[in-house]
């Protein structure tokens, strides 16, 4: 089976948290902020999490987070008590620095790319939008909208090869592929869901996991799906079904699922490893 893989337990977060952002790879990742407007940031080394320097502005439900543990971006989100923000911060491996804001204040979007070439895709303003903004290392520019406006979606990729999937409203399986200039609807997820997580570095490989799908039972989903460039295949479930989790990882063969909630916030971390 070319999609065979398995989730196993990784080192837990120090603080139970939901709705934070994620970036990096399985052995070098950040978990950023959280749903209560927390500014806490934790760094994962493949074994355990260490608390590192806080964001300047606490927030959860980011519009996008992307990059590496030495050069990352956290954009938008909801700060405390419940105000959406356009604030963008840049991480240099030690400190967060406030940089130029998003053009559209928003939360719960999808982000992918690098600290000098990234995207924040769709989200809530609170109205659901299709806007896409491109980050060039110093400022945001409006670029081509996705075809279906939504929020609470996930994504992965680069500025010339990206993928976004899921979200609402309505709860959707829609997947769109980015080639650097246009978005194209491609094959749907098998399981419609929202506030899910993703991993991968292009529109030819991706991993979608977790989320929720009301009124289905269970609401908190454990399903994992692998993208091969043309279709999604259901693979092994997460050990803990959950929503509002964060993802990191370079492909559909190596990924990380961090935090989230299934009724209450969790410290759970799971590592995905290819077993083909």
Give the count of alpha carbons within 13 A of 166, CB side only: 32
**Mean pLDDT confidence for 226-243:** 96
**Tens-place pLDDT, residues 135-176:** 999 999 999 999 999 999 999 999 999 999 999 999 999 999
Return mean pLDDT, the chain: 96
**Mean pLDDT confidence for 69-80:** 95
**Mean pLDDT confidence for 210-235:** 94
**Tens-place pLDDT, residues 97-112:** 999 999 999 999 999 9
Which residue shows structure tokens 């409006």?
Answer: 142
CA distances from 205 to 36, 59, 191, 194, 234 (A): 32, 29, 18, 20, 14
Give the count of alpha carbons within 13 A of 87, CB side only: 19
What is the helix, strand, coil percentage profile of the chain, to 5? 0, 50, 50
Residue 1 pLDDT more than 60? no
**Mean pLDDT confidence for 20-48:** 96
């Amino acid at each position: 089976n070319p999609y065979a893989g398995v989730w196993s337990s990784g080192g837990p977060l120090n603080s139970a948290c939901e709705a934070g952002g994620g970036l990096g790879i399985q052995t070098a990742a950040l978990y950023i902020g959280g749903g209560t407007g927390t500014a806490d940031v934790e760094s994962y080394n493949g074994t355990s999490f260490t608390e590192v320097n806080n964001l300047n502005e606490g927030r959860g439900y980011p519009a996008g987070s992307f990059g590496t543990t030495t050069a990352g971006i956290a954009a938008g989100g909801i700060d405390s008590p419940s105000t959406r923000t356009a604030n963008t911060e840049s991480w240099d491996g030690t400190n967060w620095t406030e940089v130029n804001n998003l053009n559209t204040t928003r939360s719960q979007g999808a982000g992918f790319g690098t600290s000098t070439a990234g995207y924040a895709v769709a989200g809530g303003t609170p109205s659901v939008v299709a806007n896409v903004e491109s980050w060039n290392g110093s400022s945001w520019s409006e670029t081509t909208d996705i075809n279906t406006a939504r929020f609470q979606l996930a994504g992965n990729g680069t500025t010339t090869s990206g993928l976004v999937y899921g979200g609402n409203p309505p709860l959707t399986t829609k997947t769109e592929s980015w080639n650097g200039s246009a978005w194209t609807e491609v094959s749907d997820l098998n399981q419609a869901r929202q506030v899910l997580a993703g991993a991968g570095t292009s529109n030819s490989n991706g991993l979608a996991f977790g989320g929720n799908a009301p009124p289905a039972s269970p609401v908190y989903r454990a399903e994992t799906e692998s993208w091969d460039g043309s279709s999604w295949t259901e693979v092994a479930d997460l050990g803990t079904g959950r929503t509002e989790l964060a993802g990191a990882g370079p492909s559909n063969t190596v990924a990380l699922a961090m935090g989230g909630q299934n009724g209450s916030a969790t410290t759970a971390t799971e590592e995905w490893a290819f077993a083909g």
